[in-house]
Amino acid sequence: MTQKQLADAVGIKFQQIQKYETGANRVSASRLYEIADAMQVPVSFFFEDVDKADTEGKVSASPLDQDDAIPANLFNGKEAIELLNCYYRWPEEQRRRLFELTKSLTKESFAEAA
């Protein structure tokens, strides 16, 4: 997304986005919410590395792998969001095939671990 596209989505001039990005102007909480909404990410996306102590909790991925916990904040990361955005740009048939492949590989890894 370009600065111009973001500015248009938020309803401000792209120069203001440049000022936010360079730190010349502070971003208000309400504006940050508008930017997050336009970018289709949670507001917490912008605070990813602020306080690791609160974000390093673990949750179980599924009942099958209680020992292999995944980070509670998995979907707040930039990489995960980018991956999901790419995934949903694919045609539905390709997404279904990738999903099925991923499930089969996961089942194989559980069988090997047992």
| Residue type, position 107, single letter | K
- pLDDT digit string (tens) for 29-42? 889 999 999 999 88
Q: Please count the other Cβ atoms lying within 10 Å of the Cβ belonging to residue 100.
A: 10
In this model, does residue 66 exceed pLDDT 70? Answer: no
Q: Please, what sign has the CA dihedral across residues 26, 81, 79, 50?
A: positive
Q: What ranges do the domains of the chain cover?
A: 3-40, 52-113
Share of the chain above pLDDT 90, in %: 22
In this model, does residue 69 exceed pLDDT 80? Answer: no
pTM of whole model > 0.85?
no
The confidence score (pLDDT) of residue 34 equals 92
Name the E strands within the chain. 58-60, 69-71
